[in-house]
Amino acid sequence: MTQLWPAPVATGPVHATVPVPGSKSITNRALVLAALADGPSTLHAPLRSRDTELMAAALRALGATVSDGPAGSWQVTPAELRGPADVDCGLAGTVMRFVPPIAALAHGRITFDGDPQARKRPLSTVLDALRALGADIDGNALPFAVRGTGGLPGGAVTIDASASSQFVSGLLLSGARFAQGVTVVHDGEPVPSLPHIEMTVSMLRAAGVEVDDSERDTWRIAPGSIRALDVYVEPDLSNATPFLAAAAATGGTVTVPGWPEKTTQAGDAIRDILDRMGARVRRDGDGLTVTGPDELRPVDIDLHDVGELTPTVAALAALAPGRSQLRGIAHLRGHETDRLAALQSELTKLGGAVEQTEDGLLIEPRPLTGGTWHSYADHRMATAGAILGLKVPGIVVEDIATTSKTIPDFPGMWAQMLREAA
């Protein structure tokens, strides 16, 4: 049965320090590069969540060794890529988009499938691109199969990545192992979540891969080796945002330790967003501290590059005393669920006034009441319900366990935060 979780109400301002586990985006990119590297790699403080465990399992299925090391690290030893193998993608977009290029380098048939909701997610862009680069693939969505021949010619390919930056990153991560490397050209509406591509490029360069991104919407990866990694994984800044939002919503103070001074993570944008909504944001030492205002301010903001923060921002906007507009996020209709429709539906059921626009949401202030908040098997929808529950009694989040996709024990961390505030 789906777990129903009564969202705890904050009895006053939340004051807490909340350590956040490692970045999913960095962990899964590092796992891919390590599996394709010249020698053994070590990932220090990786995220251990459903998405990263699925990635590790996929790479093991293809022949790599991913084992536990000291202090929670992962040791990755590459090996000859081979099939037959079955890859479970779950709901992990990184697995279903980053692993097929690796499978094309393997010997044998590699089959991919995932959760029922994952079968609705767009995949034809990356699969058609791989076909154009020389891969043999059956299918255009989950389930599909890659018939690996031990290598891929590679070369130049033009795609429309306006639905997801992961289409670009997936091709770039394996591109150095293609015979001719790879040149990816985007042709379409602006690519969303560009910071994620910048993260991919930065990690490739750190692994010794030659990357040319000097031309707009064009990324060139030279063929060559990938250096073994010794990586310390930053805290996941996007996963930190619900906890920082708790401070903003309740007028409290929350500190997330280990916040990097410089980062390619999209979640770093929460600093500016919360500042615009009236919170006081400061980075002291290695921690980020947010102190909430007496009253949240509504916001008119373009979230195109940081769409993953939309559920958090929408929850806060629903608690603000004026009209908010969230723009540039039409691509969220193709995420774990249609996040725009989901947010509109769930906020409306609680008494909110939400309108979908062509590329986002209009949120009007209304008194909210309790009720069941459906997560749609979407971890960020679930955490948005928890944020609202701090201020609105009677909210019950359906399927809180879906947060394990990126946060191993979100309910426990949320409860601990509130215990510190008591």
* Catalytic positions, written as ranges: 308
d(CA 191, CA 143): 26
- Residue 84: asked if its preceding bond is cis (omega within 30°), the reply is yes
165 has binding-site annotation: yes
262 has binding-site annotation: no
Count H helices, E strands: the chain?
12, 23
375 has binding-site annotation: no
29 has binding-site annotation: yes
166 has binding-site annotation: yes
The amino acid sitting at 408 is P
> At a CB cut-off of 8 Å and minimum separation 6, what does 38 contact?
78, 225, 226, 227, 228
Q: Look up tokens 């500190």; give the residue.
A: 255
d(CA 259, CA 236): 9
Neighbours of 205 (CB within 10 A): 12
Question: Whose CA is closest to 415, among 405, 400, 398, 394?
Answer: 400
73 has binding-site annotation: no
Torsions phi, psi of 344, nearest 5? -60, -45
Q: How far is CA 150 from CA 20, 105, 179, 297, in A?
A: 39, 5, 11, 56
188 has binding-site annotation: no
The SS3 call for residue 47 is coil
Inter-residue contact 223 to 154 (CB < 8 Å) = yes
25 has binding-site annotation: yes
> At a CB cut-off of 8 Å and minimum separation 6, what does 230 contact?
41, 42, 44
41 has binding-site annotation: no
Q: Look up tokens 């306006």; give the residue.
A: 162
339 has binding-site annotation: yes
193 has binding-site annotation: yes
d(CA 202, CA 296): 36
164 has binding-site annotation: yes
117 has binding-site annotation: no
326 bridge partner residues: 301, 361
120 has binding-site annotation: no
**Token pair belonging to 384:** 């948005």
Binding residues for 3-phosphoshikimate: 24-25, 29, 164-166, 193, 308, 335
Binding residues: 24-25, 29, 93, 121, 164-166, 193, 308, 335, 339, 380, 405
Binding residues for phosphoenolpyruvate: 24, 93, 121, 166, 339, 380, 405
